[in-house]
């Protein structure tokens, strides 16, 4: 898929270059002027327009990208129509001049055009790395923001972002240039999608859904602490707030000039449940169940800013910082909480791997707490001939009405000669996959149960309990092999996740592995169901 994206970009740039080379150098120059003008108009009106149309619904997650693309396309069309009307005739030049000089000018227009579309597409809710392309992301090992190995053959998004950023502080300079208020737009288009649920979580935030309360800076430790209050409208689809490190950035204040501001990302945060670190990809700032609002303190390393920052950006929405209070190291530590310097989101029970996990294994095809009937809506779930859950997915409410025994769907389908083993991998438990194990193995390592004959079993699905609902996901022919395919679990350990393994009858499961790392050992025999 990544190769197809590269071919699409190269083809688009090449086609535009070829077209305008044939139209002539003068026409190519006029078109390039129109493309630059359309890009300037689109980027100038994009953010203010978005703040007017955001409504807190599902379309907000697509609006950032679609509005940018529509603004650019409409502006380019109007400028082309105006240019064609004002300049009614071409300038005749030698054929060699049109081809030699017209093609590069056309290629420049092609790069800017394709770059605007790639950047716009990046702000549309989709998977974390559409077509396998994600120029920057969080490291699976450390959680730090770093460059992705895969790059476009023609980096149209970076070239376009940097070109308009340069224009904003030179020939088209304004009091709030793009270079200073929206730096590294091409990176932001990738990082904003770095959410839980493989990138499909919320990537938009209503301006009124969050409020910056206080901003502190400690000169001695070169660290920022920013208190932010999140309202209920900040929650993902009205359920639970979840913010990754990549979705939050602090932008240095620039007073004129062409230099780029430094961009900082938080390394930890504090909320009422404790102090946590953004030290792996599974860590998210989450709201507390049942609370209408959530207060958090975000901690940023100071970098080279020297206490001068201007904007806090959360999911594309920028909040202006008007006042920064200098504080002592003890004040910063007090904001983190007692004993915070040695705490992290990795529970102590997960630091030691290889322990016994029999207590979190269950030989059962019982899907409880899910209770459903054949007369109820069950989403895309498919039932077997004996009315058991076979494949598909659906999210059930935690509490359901009583189901008639005659219509009840009473279990998970077990193929003849197999049994289902349920493994609880909740954060902080004996089989926690998200702590030190994830750091060592990486999010793409296989999750494997191994029996006494060294036969391997991958999860064919899971049951995810959030406290508000329960999701059943079954993929018996494809499996759920890696952590990247699992739902997000908050560091607080308030969610329960059970992985479902189909194991050969009479096999004895002896250990759980994440890649080559042994998470735990066990001794469970998949005895036949005599019921």
Domain ranges of the chain: 2-187, 205-345, 349-525
pLDDT at residue 239, as a whole number = 64
Residues 6+ apart with CB under 8 A from 175: none
Residues 6+ apart with CB under 8 A from 334: none
Asked if the model's pLDDT at residue 76 lies above 50, the reply is: yes
Task: Give the pLDDT band (50/70/90) at residue 341.
Answer: very low
* Residues pairing with 448 in the sheet: 513
Higher per-residue confidence, 10 vs 282? 10
The closest of 95, 202, 92 to 488, measured between CA atoms, is 202
* Contact yes or no for 525/310 (Cβ under 8 A): no
Task: Give the pLDDT band (50/70/90) at residue 491.
Answer: low
pLDDT at residue 141, as a whole number = 55
Highest mean pLDDT among 12-21, 55-64, 191-200, 343-352: 12-21
Higher per-residue confidence, 214 vs 279? 214
- For the residues 68-95, what does the mean pLDDT come to? 88
For residue 460, what are its two tokens? 């064919």
* Contact yes or no for 431/514 (Cβ under 8 A): no
Instruction: Decide: pTM greater than 0.85.
Output: no
- For the residues 257-268, what does the mean pLDDT come to? 94
pLDDT at residue 508, as a whole number = 96
Query: Strand, coil or helix: what is 127?
Result: coil
* Residues pairing with 44 in the sheet: none
Asked if the model's pLDDT at residue 352 lies above 70, the reply is: no
pLDDT at residue 401, as a whole number = 63
Asked if the model's pLDDT at residue 73 lies above 90, the reply is: yes
In this prediction, what percent of the chain has a pLDDT beyond 90? Answer: 56
- For the residues 169-188, what does the mean pLDDT come to? 93
* Contact yes or no for 349/430 (Cβ under 8 A): yes
pLDDT at residue 291, as a whole number = 60
* Contact yes or no for 472/396 (Cβ under 8 A): yes
What string of DSSP letters covers 145-206? EEE-S---SS-HHHHHHHHHHHHTTTTT--SS-HHHHS-SHHHHHHHTT--TGGGTS-----
Q: Over the stretch 86-135, which tens digit does the pLDDT of each residue have?
A: 886 667 777 777 777 899 999 999 999 999 999 999 999 887 777 778 88
- For the residues 338-346, what does the mean pLDDT come to? 37
- For the residues 483-511, what does the mean pLDDT come to? 87
Distance of CA 370 to the CA centre of its chain: 29
* Residues pairing with 420 in the sheet: 502
CB-count burial class (<10 Å; 0-12, 13-18, 19+) for 20: buried
d(CA 268, CA 336): 9
Asked if the model's pLDDT at residue 137 lies above 90, the reply is: no
pLDDT at residue 426, as a whole number = 86
Query: Strand, coil or helix: what is 365?
Result: coil
Task: Give the pLDDT band (50/70/90) at residue 198.
Answer: low
Task: Give the pLDDT band (50/70/90) at residue 340.
Answer: very low
Higher per-residue confidence, 267 vs 240? 267
- For the residues 440-456, what does the mean pLDDT come to? 88
The closest of 244, 258, 255, 268 to 310, measured between CA atoms, is 255
pLDDT at residue 289, as a whole number = 55
pLDDT at residue 104, as a whole number = 94
- For the residues 387-408, what does the mean pLDDT come to? 81
* Residues pairing with 466 in the sheet: none
- For the residues 523-527, what does the mean pLDDT come to? 95
* Whole-angstrom Cα Rg for the chain: 27
Enter the CATH code of domain 205-345: 2.60.40
- For the residues 349-357, what does the mean pLDDT come to? 67
- For the residues 243-272, what does the mean pLDDT come to? 93
Phi then psi for 41, rounded to 5 degrees?
-65, -45
Higher per-residue confidence, 274 vs 461? 461
Asked if the model's pLDDT at residue 345 lies above 50, the reply is: no
Residues 6+ apart with CB under 8 A from 90: 23, 24, 26, 27
- For the residues 156-169, what does the mean pLDDT come to? 96
pLDDT at residue 309, as a whole number = 96
* Contact yes or no for 146/2 (Cβ under 8 A): no
Distance of CA 347 to the CA centre of its chain: 24
Asked if the model's pLDDT at residue 320 lies above 50, the reply is: yes
Higher per-residue confidence, 232 vs 519? 519
- For the residues 181-197, what does the mean pLDDT come to? 89
pLDDT at residue 90, as a whole number = 67
- For the residues 479-506, what does the mean pLDDT come to? 85
């Amino acid at each position: 898929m990544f190769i197809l994206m590269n071919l699409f970009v190269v083809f688009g740039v090449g086609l535009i270059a070829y077209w305008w080379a044939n139209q002539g150098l003068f026409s190519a120059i006029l078109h390039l002027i129109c493309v630059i003008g359309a890009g300037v108009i689109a980027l100038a009106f994009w953010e203010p327009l978005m703040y007017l149309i955001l409504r807190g619904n599902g379309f907000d997650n697509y609006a950032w990208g679609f509005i940018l693309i529509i603004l650019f396309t409409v502006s380019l069309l109007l400028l082309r129509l105006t240019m064609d009307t004002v300049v009614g005739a071409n300038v005749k030049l030698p054929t060699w001049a049109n081809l030699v000089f017209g093609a590069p000018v056309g290629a420049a227009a092609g790069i800017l055009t394709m770059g605007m579309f790639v950047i716009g597409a990046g702000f549309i809710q989709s998977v974390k790395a559409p077509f396998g392309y994600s120029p920057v992301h969080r490291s699976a090992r450390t959680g730090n923001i770093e460059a992705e190995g895969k790059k476009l053959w023609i980096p149209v998004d970076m070239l376009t972002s940097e070109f308009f950023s340069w224009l904003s502080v030179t020939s088209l300079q304004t009091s709030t240039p793009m270079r200073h208020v929206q730096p590294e737009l091409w990176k932001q288009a990738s990082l904003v999608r770095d959410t839980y649920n493989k990138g499909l979580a919320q990537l938009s935030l209503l301006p009124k859904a969050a409020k910056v309360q206080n901003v502190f800076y400690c000169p001695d430790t070169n660290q920022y602490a920013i208190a932010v209050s999140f309202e209920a409208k900040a929650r993902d689809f009205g359920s639970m707030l979840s913010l990754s490190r990549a979705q939050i950035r602090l932008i240095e204040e620039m007073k004129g000039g062409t230099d780029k501001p430094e961009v900082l990302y938080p390394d930890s945060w504090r909320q009422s449940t404790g102090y946590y670190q953004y030290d792996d990809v599974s860590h998210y700032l989450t709201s507390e169940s049942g609370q209408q609002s959530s207060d958090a303190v975000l901690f940023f390393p100071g970098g080279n800013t020297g206490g001068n920052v201007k904007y806090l950006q959360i999911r594309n929405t920028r909040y202006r910082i008007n006042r920064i209070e200098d504080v002592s190291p003890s004040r910063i530590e007090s904001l983190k909480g007692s004993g915070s310097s040695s705490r992290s989101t990795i529970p102590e029970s997960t630091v030691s791997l290889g322990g016994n996990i029999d207590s979190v294994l269950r030989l059962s095809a019982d899907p409880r707490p899910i209770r459903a009937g054949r007369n109820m809506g069950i989403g895309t779930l498919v039932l077997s001939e004996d009315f058991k859950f076979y494949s598909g997915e659906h999210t059930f409410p935690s509490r359901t009405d009583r189901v008639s025994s005659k219509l009840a769907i009473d279990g998970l389908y077990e193929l003849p000669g197999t049994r289902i083993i349920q493994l609880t991998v909740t954060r902080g438990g004996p089989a926690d996959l998200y702590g030190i194990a994830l750091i060592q193995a990486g999010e793409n390592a296989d999750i494997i149960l191994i029996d006494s004959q060294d036969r391997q079993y991958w999860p064919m699905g899971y049951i995810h309990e959030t406290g508000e609902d329960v999701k059943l996901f079954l993929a018996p022919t494809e499996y759920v092999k890696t952590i990247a395919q699992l739902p997000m679990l908050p560091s607080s350990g308030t969610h329960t996740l059970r992985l479902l393994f189909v194991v050969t009858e009479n096999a004895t499961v002896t250990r759980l592995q994440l890649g080559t790392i042994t998470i735990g050992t066990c001794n469970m025999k998949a005895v036949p169901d005599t019921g």
